[in-house]
Amino acid sequence: MNPSALRRPRSLTHDVVEALSSRIREGSLVPGEKLPTEAAIMEEFGVSRTVVREANSRLQAAGLVETRHGVGTFVVGMGETAAFRVSPDQLGTLRDVIAVLELRIGVETESAALAAMRRTAENMAAMRHALQAFSSAVQEGRDAVGPDFQFHLEIARATQNQRFVDLMATLGGMMIPRARLEPPGPLTPEREAYLRRVNAEHESIVEAISRQDPEGARAAMRTHLANSRERRRMADAK
């Protein structure tokens, strides 16, 4: 057998991994976002399904993506290069999720205040786009984890401090509590009402950032994340 024939599949897999990794680290694929389907990746790169699945396996091993069976593959963070990382297996219990929410309260309240002081018109447009994407997802019966994460990421970007963005990207979409503790499936009326309350809290944060009120933004973010923590506790107590 020609030795080059043995190297070719490995090279193709490497090419796909490198391309998708670059998109994640450059921000064109953000944490919480769903990767293109296997068929779409096969068409884009001209590779077989086997190559795509091997590439996905390597991305998972690097901590860049996570596959949720029956749902798809999602970006979860910046991978092995991150100095700080919360891996999916560290978010398996309610206690784990509440620990991350407490971290977020500490970080994101200040992020919201800085965003109120420094936001640009482009930042406001991005936040409002995430709010609309969240509402559209709920109307379509989806759980809106991606738009939820995107909303919080856009606030981090509005601080004009890349370190806030890096930390949020490292936490990834798994920082949204329901991404780990709620099973996939159609929205029940109760879950839909819950998501609408969440987005109403998001709107309060955006209003404070828009009027450049750092104390109001800080308070709105703290209220939102504290409510998320209590909602998780109450759901577990049922």
pLDDT tens per residue, range 155-209: 999 999 988 987 887 776 666 765 554 555 567 788 888 899 999 999 999 999 9
Do 73 and 92 belong together in one domain?
no
Do 41 and 113 belong together in one domain?
no
Domain residue limits at 164: 83-237
Which residue matches tokens 């919360």?
Answer: 86
**Residue 205's CB: how many other CB atoms inside 10 A?**
28
Q: How confident is the model at residue 78 (pLDDT cuts 50, 70, 90)?
A: low
Helix, strand, coil percentages (3-state) for the chain, rounded to 5, are 70, 5, 25
- Give the CATH number, domain containing residue 233: 1.20.120.530
91 pLDDT higher than 60: no
Do 26 and 74 belong together in one domain?
yes
- The closest alpha carbon to 172, from 149, 144, 155, 151, belongs to 149
Rounded mean pLDDT, 90-101:
73
Give CA–CA dist 85/216, Å, rounded. 30
